[in-house]
Amino acid sequence: MTPMATARRSGIAAAGFSARLAGFLVAVTTTYLGLLAVTFFIGRVIPIDPVLAVLGDRAPASAIARVRIEMGLDLPLWQQFSIYVQKVLSGDFGTSVLTTHPVLEDIARVFPATIELATVGTAVGALIGVPLGVLAAVRRGSIVDQIVRVIGLVGYSMPIFWMALLALVVFYARLHWVAFPGRLDVVYEYTFTPISGLFLLDAIWQRQWEVLWDLVRHIILPASLLGYLSLAYISRMTRGFMLNELRQEYIVAARAKGLSDARIIWAHALRNAAVPLVTVIALSYANLLEGSVLTETIFSWPGIGSYITNSLQNADMNAVLGGTIAIGTVFIALNLLSDLLYRFLDPRTKAR
């Protein structure tokens, strides 16, 4: 690409900024409305009669008629939907049958645990996955490249809940390296009062090192497994990006200048691959939030995944849909954010 073409393109990009922002807002709104439409459809339209679902089939006819009007089921579907959207946007997800709390309250309680798990998982995945991907790209075709590829393939092909079970057998039952499933030992329940819900940070803040150690012994296994999932994805993408960079002319120029290999790879090439890499890591974070659903059930991790699966088993639809919307919201936000990051940080995509 010539410098002039680049200049022209960035000019276009500046002029189109507000248009692209508008397009982005439209994307956010329609996607979110789409999510709500699907959850509305699942909660209100698929069950043959939502009233019966609430009252049971032995309720008297008068009660059924009353509840039908209370639930707004006599209104046209689009009106029901708009009421539903208003309710969700104001934070009203209904009440959980299982916990008898408002669903939003429940979600606010359990979500930090999932955030903590997914964050540590992504950190593990990125800290190991990026170097592995770089190494595979630099030694393309070598035995290192093959090993990284196999590690990634197994990560893509493995059911994580199964791996989690086996890991528990090995690391908890046989080797006693990690703690019993859960988030924190009951011993500390009364001596440790978390503030933010992110226990690791709370423990550091309160200088409760013993608690911190126990937390680490609990989180290390589920987080490593989730980290493996994102490692598979991150290392593969890193390899691709690095291969792209390494064949560019500026690499040849840097070589000609006499820079060391390490400097060329880590300071020059990786820095240019960083923009798409950030978006990939954001995406894998979103995937881990979702992937944590099954992992949490294995490790009795009190997060949103356990909440959803517990509610599933008890046919608690309000809680299931509330959890779905909560994960969906974060998922969509991260998805669009990574899209946005990519478009705004990488000048090459602006021309499109």
Partner 1 sequence: MTATLPSAPLSRREWLLADHPQSRMQARLGRAYMVWLQFSANRLAMIGLSIIVLLVIVAMSADLLAPYSPVVGDLRNERLLPPGSAHWLGTDGQGRDILSRLIYGSRLTLLVVGLVAVIAAPVGLVVGTVSGYAGGWIDAILMRLTDIFLAFPKLVLALALVSALGPGIENAILAIAVTSWPPYARIARAETLTFRHSDFIAAVRLMGASPGRIVVRHIMPLCLSSLLVRVTLDMAGIIITAAGLGFLGLGAQPPMPEWGAMIADGRRFVLDQWWVAAAPGGAILIVSLGFNLLGDGLRDALDPREASR
* Interaction site with partner 1 (CB under 8 A): 27, 30-31, 34-35, 38-39, 42-43, 46-47, 153-154, 156-163, 165-166, 168-169, 173, 240, 243, 286, 289-291, 293-294, 297, 308-309, 312-313, 315, 317, 320-321, 323-324, 327-328, 331-332, 335-336
Tokens at residue 141, please? 């075709």
| Contact (CB, 8 A) for 338 and 141 | no
What is the three-state SS of 6-64?
A: HHHHHHHHHHCHHHHHHHHHHHHHHHHHHHHHHHHHHHHHCCCCHHHHHHCCCCCHHHH
Report the alpha-carbon distance of residue 11 to residue 7 in Å, rounded.
Answer: 6
Residue number, 166 or 186, with CB nearest to partner 1:
166
| Contact (CB, 8 A) for 222 and 295 | yes
Nearest approach in angstroms of CB 18 to partner 1 is: 19
Residue number, 208 or 297, with CB nearest to partner 1:
297
Nearest approach in angstroms of CB 211 to partner 1 is: 27
Q: Which of 103, 106, 107 is nearest to 94 (CA)?
A: 103
Q: Rounded to the nearest 5 degrees, what angle is found at the Cα of 283, between the Cα atoms of 39 and 279?
A: 135
Tokens at residue 239, please? 């390899």
Residue number, 202 or 316, with CB nearest to partner 1:
316
Nearest approach in angstroms of CB 280 to partner 1 is: 15
Residue number, 52 or 216, with CB nearest to partner 1:
52
Report the alpha-carbon distance of residue 240 to residue 318 in Å, rounded.
Answer: 43
What's the burial of 106, exposed, middle or buried (CB within 10 Å: 0-12/13-18/19+)?
buried
Nearest approach in angstroms of CB 298 to partner 1 is: 8
Nearest approach in angstroms of CB 183 to partner 1 is: 20
Count of helices and strands (H, E) across the chain: 15, 0
Residue number, 202 or 245, with CB nearest to partner 1:
245
Nearest approach in angstroms of CB 174 to partner 1 is: 9
Nearest approach in angstroms of CB 169 to partner 1 is: 5
Residue number, 87 or 263, with CB nearest to partner 1:
87
Nearest approach in angstroms of CB 254 to partner 1 is: 22
Residue number, 25 or 127, with CB nearest to partner 1:
25
Q: What is the CA radius of gyration of the chain?
A: 25
| Contact (CB, 8 A) for 138 and 242 | yes
Residue number, 55 or 204, with CB nearest to partner 1:
55
Q: Which of 237, 194, 239, 232 is nearest to 212 (CA)?
A: 194
3-state secondary structure of 95: strand
